Amino acid sequence: DAKTTQPPSMDCAEGRAANLPCNHSTISGNEYVYWYRQIHSQGPQYIIHGLKNNETNEMASLIITEDRKSSTLILPHATLRDTAVYYCIVRGKLTFGQGTILTVHP
Amino acid sequence: DTAVSQTPKYLVTQMGNDKSIKCEQNLGHDTMYWYKQDSKKFLKIMFSYNNKELIINETVPNRFSPKSPDKAHLNLHINSLELGDSAVYFCASSQNPRTGGWETQYFGPGTRLLVL
């Protein structure tokens, strides 16, 4: 299973875009990249996933590099309620790492 | 309507006791999971069932026994509770083939277990 690396924490101003990076240099060709988040004291929540192409849904956008060794989750207009731990996971790995603690401040 | 529900939300018990945590999903999914989140916040898979059949069983003490009476329910029974079992336990479900690979998972609110 491919390993992922994320910065431990990031800050973002409310209303600005939050760009959360993830490295997955050992990803194999058929492994998807998934993003989840966990708001304090709640269960993890699915955000988005992708294989090769960039993806967008109502919550976020996912940009995957052409070599697929890294990706970026973009929250276009962060709100205070987006403060959470964000996990980048490669399909097949059923353990969430430490993720990135995103703090959105006023 | 709650998609994935767990009971109880909090569970405080003494060492050596036996306890169960219940999970139900009303999403019509075929696969359900149990995860454990420890004090360091690492979330690790424990078990996965597909259509009542066990498909993933990580290195978990055999004091932990999952039971799936039907595909909408996956209960977790824990015998002889130990201090180290204190954690938050999350149930999840997904619609995916029995390979046990990832699809979009929906998580319950968690059960906070404290063993004294």
Mean pLDDT of chain B: 89
Flag if B107 and A34 touch (Cβ within 8 Å): no
B63 interfacial to chain A (CB closer than 8 Å): no
Tally C-beta pairs within 8 A across A and B: 49
**Which residues, in sequence order, are bridge partners of residue A55?**
A62
Assess contact for B18 and B80: CB atoms under 8 A.
yes
Chain A nearest C-alpha distance from B83 (Å): 21
For residue A94, what pLDDT is reported? 66
DSSP A27-67: --TT--EEEEEE-TTS--EEEEEESSS-EE-SS-EEEE-TT
| Radius of gyration of the CA atoms of chain A, in A | 13
Give every CB contact of residue A72 below 8 A, 6+ residues apart in sequence: A19, A20, A21, A22, A62, A63
Chain B nearest C-alpha distance from A90 (Å): 9
Give every CB contact of residue B74 below 8 A, 6+ residues apart in sequence: B23, B32, B33, B34, B47, B49, B66, B67, B68, B91
A101 interfacial to chain B (CB closer than 8 Å): no
Chain A nearest C-alpha distance from B36 (Å): 10
| Confidence band for A41, pLDDT divided at 50, 70 and 90 | confident
For residue A22, what pLDDT is reported? 96
Cα–Cα distance measured from residue B26 to residue B21, given in angstroms and rounded to the nearest whole number = 17
Interval A66-94 mean pLDDT: 91
Cα–Cα distance measured from residue B6 to residue A6, given in angstroms and rounded to the nearest whole number = 30
User: Chain A residue closest to B43 (CA)?
Assistant: A96
More confident residue, B13 or B52: B13
Flag if B90 and A44 touch (Cβ within 8 Å): yes
Residue B57 has pLDDT above 90, yes or no: no
A45 interfacial to chain B (CB closer than 8 Å): yes
Flag if B107 and A85 touch (Cβ within 8 Å): no
Residue B116 has pLDDT above 60, yes or no: yes
For residue B52, what pLDDT is reported? 77
Residue B16 has pLDDT above 60, yes or no: yes
Flag if B44 and A46 touch (Cβ within 8 Å): no
Assess contact for B96 and B33: CB atoms under 8 A.
no
